[in-house]
Amino acid sequence: MDATPGRGMAGLAARLLALLLLAGCAQEMTAAQVELFQPPIVATAAPARPLRGSFSLENNTTRVGLAPMRPLVPAYAGPGRLLASWNPHPSGVAGRPVFVVMHGGHGLVPGNFATALWLRRDLGASVLVLDSFWSRGIEENWLERTRYGANMRVLDAIAAARWLRDTQGTDPRGTFLVGDSQGGWTALRLFTDEPFLEGARAGLFRGGIALYPVCRSSGTAFSPRLGPYSGPVIVFTGGRDTATPPDQCPRETFARAAAWTHYPDQTHGWDTANRGAHSPAVDGECGRAMNSYNQFAVCRSDATTADMRRRIAEFVAARRAGQ
- CB atoms inside a 10 Å sphere around CB 246: 18
pLDDT digits (tens, 9 = 90+) for 43-99: 999 999 998 889 999 999 999 999 999 999 999 999 999 999 999 999 999 999 999
SS3 label, residue 9? helix
**Confidence band of 9 (pLDDT split at 50, 70, 90):** very low
Q: Which pLDDT score, from 0 to 100, does residue 143 have?
A: 85
SS3 label, residue 293? coil
SS3 label, residue 287? strand
**Confidence band of 25 (pLDDT split at 50, 70, 90):** very low
CATH 3.40.50.1820 assigned to domain 7-320? The reply is: yes
Q: Which pLDDT score, from 0 to 100, does residue 292 have?
A: 77
> Above 50 in pLDDT, residue 289?
yes
- Contact between 191 and 183 under an 8 Å Cβ cutoff? The reply is no
Distances (CA, A) of 41 to 76, 157, 297: 11, 15, 32
DSSP assignment letter at 320: H
Helices (H), the chain: 10-23, 31-36, 50-53, 57-60, 110-122, 150-168, 182-190, 195-201, 252-255, 302-320
pLDDT digits (tens, 9 = 90+) for 296-311: 999 999 999 999 999 9
Mean pLDDT rounded to a whole number for the chain: 91
Amino acid at 47: P
> Cα–Cα distance between 51 and 197 in angstroms, integer?
31
- Contact between 71 and 80 under an 8 Å Cβ cutoff? The reply is yes
- Contact between 125 and 319 under an 8 Å Cβ cutoff? The reply is no
For residues 146-158, average pLDDT: 97
For residues 136-165, average pLDDT: 95
Q: Which helix (H) or strand (E) holds 72?
A: strand 70-74
Q: What percent of the chain has pLDDT over 70?
A: 91
**Confidence band of 28 (pLDDT split at 50, 70, 90):** low
Helices (H) and strands (E) in the chain, counts: 10, 10
Contacts for 157 with CB less than 8 Å, ≥ 6 apart: 100, 102, 130, 177, 186, 190, 205
**Confidence band of 182 (pLDDT split at 50, 70, 90):** very high
> Cα–Cα distance between 178 and 163 in angstroms, integer?
17
> Above 90 in pLDDT, residue 294?
no
- Residue 60 phi, psi (nearest 5): -105, 0
Q: What percent of the chain has pLDDT over 90?
A: 83
pLDDT digits (tens, 9 = 90+) for 230-242: 999 999 999 999 9
Burial of 282 (0-12, 13-18, 19+ CB in 10 A): middle
Task: Report which of 184, 198, 12 is spatially closest to residue 105, judged by C-alpha positions.
Answer: 184
Q: Strand (E) positions, 75-140? A: 81-87, 98-102, 126-130
